[in-house]
Structure 1
Amino acid sequence: MLDIVIDTRCHDLGGFEVGRVLPFRARRMVGPFIFFDRMGPAQMPPGIPRETDVRPHPHIGLSTITYLFEGEMTHRDSTGVEQVIRPGALNWMTAGRGISHSERFDGLRERGGPMDGIQAWVALPTEDEETAPDFAHHPAGALPEFGEGGLSARLIAGEAYGLRSPARTRSPLFYVHAELADGARMGLPEGHAERAVYVARGEVEVGGVRYPEGKMLVFRGGVAPTLTAVGATRLMLLGGEPVGARHIWWNFVSSRRDRIEQAKADWAAGRIPLPPMDRDTFIPLPEAQAQAPTPNPMS
């Protein structure tokens, strides 16, 4: 039934912990999902240093999906968008041929508070890798919700359970946030080639085995598992159709290795613009990592 179980690997970003799930050495992608990071959970004190923020940095060939359970972040990007990100909303940024953005804790810096969420990346189909950069915000109330019998869920993106999210996606996928009471059950969406579940809180039982927080369960195609909550449980369900093999280096994703080399040169030469409202500082190209093709701990 299970193809692989992936453990979260933790990174400390100067007082803020991030947990990497995808990519994993034995499983690079699930459908088009090529990156999956847990941001927190953490309690941010008032007056947190600006070094905790994620300064402007570039992307190509992907869309980022930022979704919060708690807390607040301010997104600024090179298309001129400034958007405060709050729990339950979908924030979908398409890098395409090149974008830069920052993620800053402006609101939490003032008052402090909890921070917890997920940032995922989906690789763009080959024909869309050079599309124009774009950003779309969908508030929580605009996303389809469903549930019964101790289950409450929100369809963040794509199609699942007969519902469709308003977000524009460029390949077939699904992304669901589910809250389950103790003993509540749900199945995975049907009709998708690759599917996985991330346990964000509590425990889930599958096939008589319990899996705690921090595990991602990737299922074989064609199976119909039942997910049963053990205690109050939070799940993120994700998957879709594969888009083909991808190269990934730092914040760059592409079907072509030479395109990543071009993106590295473009960022080093300043050919990818900075956000108009956040251009005083940026993350330089990590030359010391030039021989290690792994992305940043946080996008």
Structure 2
Amino acid sequence: MPEIVINAREAAIGPGMKVNRILPFRKRRMVGPFIFMDHAGPVSLGTEKGKDMDVLPHPHIGLSTVSYLFKGKVTHRDSLGVKQIIEPGEVNWMTAGKGIAHSERFEDPAVLAGGQLEMIQTWVALPEKDEESDPTFLNYQKDRLPVFEEKGIWMRQIAGEAYGLKSNVPTHSPLFYLHVELKKGYRLDVPLGYEERGLYVAKGTLALGSQQYTKGQLLVFSKEEQANIFAQEDCTLMLLGGDPVGERFIWWNFVSSRKERIEQAREDWKQGRIDLPPDDKDTFIPLPDDKFRRKDPPPEALS
């Protein structure tokens, strides 16, 4: 049986954007190196409300953000000058390292109508040796990610290695991350070989032994726990986990092994020392509960 079952909670990440927040949870902060997980959608809004969904430029340190879409499209911009539209089945893997800012905008209003936007975003904490690395951004189109399919099951290896599949997305520590479609009446073993493992039910209902689990629940397993799940209806699952990277502090969008580094990042963002995306720098998200507002970043923030 799972060590713990985490029920998603509603969280607001912008004026018009509410998500289901899975990690972190007060009784379980991380699963392997995964320290954050949000499930957004399916979203259905009138086309006139599309701008309310935009996530304005905001900073990160000490982590990799991993964006994965089931439906819709999102435009990513970051302080490296990258502009990338991500579509379903692709992976945006942005490593913040010592500091980066990015935005996520929904520039095609049509995708917000009729529930045409659904995405998962996770954060992967970096090992201490990589926390101050230079920021990077990579997009992997779906034909570059390994897929396995047989009767009743389909899976895409987003990152890491499991079930004999290995993704070419570079990671900084041992982990696995998969999108799985499991048809009603079929079974699947949760992969072994990692210290911590999780299974998130994005859609459907499944059974494990005599217990039933449904949409919005994350099941967390220890290394030794054998887990054979049975789909009681068609299920969309996200499997993730890996080996722990050690204690991490998290505040807002900052992750670090050192409290004082987060304090430094707070001040860096407040003073404009983290660059904004060069073609998306007119607005930004200020520090939470912070009265500071800069109309334009100082010259050094644009270099």
How does the TM-score come out when normalised to structure 2?
0.92
Count of aligned positions:
289
* 1:76-99: CA deviation from partner (whole Å, max 9, x where unpaired): 000111000111101100000000
Q: Is the 8 A contact 2:192 2:223 kept in 1?
A: no
Q: Tell me which residue corresponds to 2:67.
A: 66
Instruction: Quote the Cα distance in structure 1 between the aligned partners of 2:50 and 2:155.
Output: 35
1:109, CA displacement in angstroms? Answer: 5.8
Q: Is the 8 A contact 2:186 2:230 kept in 1?
A: yes
Mapping for residues 81-92 of structure 1, pairs under 5 Å: 81-92=82-93
Q: Tell me which residue corresponds to 1:78.
A: 79
Secondary structure (helix, strand or coil) at the match of 1:167 reads coil
Instruction: Quote the Cα distance in structure 2 between the aligned partners of 1:110 and 1:187.
Output: 35
Q: Which moved more, 1:39-48 or 1:154-163?
A: 39-48
Q: Tell me which residue corresponds to 1:297.
A: none
Instruction: Quote the Cα distance in structure 1 between the aligned partners of 2:143 and 2:50.
Output: 32
1:142, CA displacement in angstroms? Answer: 0.9
Mapping for residues 26-105 of structure 1, pairs under 5 Å: 26-105=27-106
Q: Tell me which residue corresponds to 1:287.
A: 289
Q: Is the 8 A contact 1:94 1:133 kept in 2?
A: yes
Mapping for residues 260-279 of structure 1, pairs under 5 Å: 260-279=262-281
1:125 maps onto 2:109 in alignment: no
Instruction: Quote the Cα distance in structure 2 between the aligned partners of 1:224 and 1:141.
Output: 31
Secondary structure (helix, strand or coil) at the match of 1:271 reads coil
Mapping for residues 150-165 of structure 1, pairs under 5 Å: 150-165=152-167
Q: Tell me which residue corresponds to 1:169.
A: 171
Q: Tell me which residue corresponds to 1:6.
A: 6
Q: Tell me which residue corresponds to 2:196.
A: 194
Secondary structure (helix, strand or coil) at the match of 1:47 reads helix
1:25, CA displacement in angstroms? Answer: 0.3
Q: Is the 8 A contact 1:74 1:83 kept in 2?
A: yes
Instruction: Quote the Cα distance in structure 1 between the aligned partners of 2:190 and 2:171.
Output: 20
Q: Alpha carbons of 1:92 and 1:233: their partners in 2 closer, same or farther (altered >3 Å)?
A: same
What's the % identity of the aligned pairs?
A: 54
Instruction: Quote the Cα distance in structure 2 between the aligned partners of 1:139 and 1:84.
Output: 11
1:162, CA displacement in angstroms? Answer: 1.5
Q: Is the 8 A contact 1:92 1:136 kept in 2?
A: yes
Instruction: Quote the Cα distance in structure 2 between the aligned partners of 1:239 and 1:119.
Output: 14
* 1:189-236: CA deviation from partner (whole Å, max 9, x where unpaired): 121110010000001111121101000000122012111111111000
Instruction: Quote the Cα distance in structure 2 between the aligned partners of 1:122 and 1:2.
Output: 22
Instruction: Quote the Cα distance in structure 2 between the aligned partners of 1:246 and 1:116.
Output: 29
Structure 1 segments, 4+ long, off by >6 Å, are none
Instruction: Quote the Cα distance in structure 1 between the aligned partners of 2:52 and 2:18.
Output: 14
Q: Is the 8 A contact 2:8 2:216 kept in 1?
A: yes
Q: Aligned AA for 2:135?
A: P
Instruction: Quote the Cα distance in structure 2 between the aligned partners of 1:110 and 1:20.
Output: 22
Q: Which runs of 5+ in 2 are unaligned?
A: 292-303
Q: Is the 8 A contact 1:188 1:225 kept in 2?
A: yes
Instruction: Quote the Cα distance in structure 2 between the aligned partners of 1:208 and 1:82.
Output: 48
Q: Which moved more, 1:123-132 or 1:40-49?
A: 40-49
Mapping for residues 98-117 of structure 1, pairs under 5 Å: 98-108=99-109, 112-113=113-114, 114-117=116-119
Q: Is the 8 A contact 1:47 1:111 kept in 2?
A: no
Secondary structure (helix, strand or coil) at the match of 1:10 reads strand
1:286, CA displacement in angstroms? Answer: 1.4
**How large is the RMSD of aligned CA atoms in angstroms?**
1.5
1:21 maps onto 2:16 in alignment: no
1:110, CA displacement in angstroms? Answer: 7.9
Q: Tell me which residue corresponds to 1:296.
A: none
1:223 equivalent among 207, 222, 225: 225
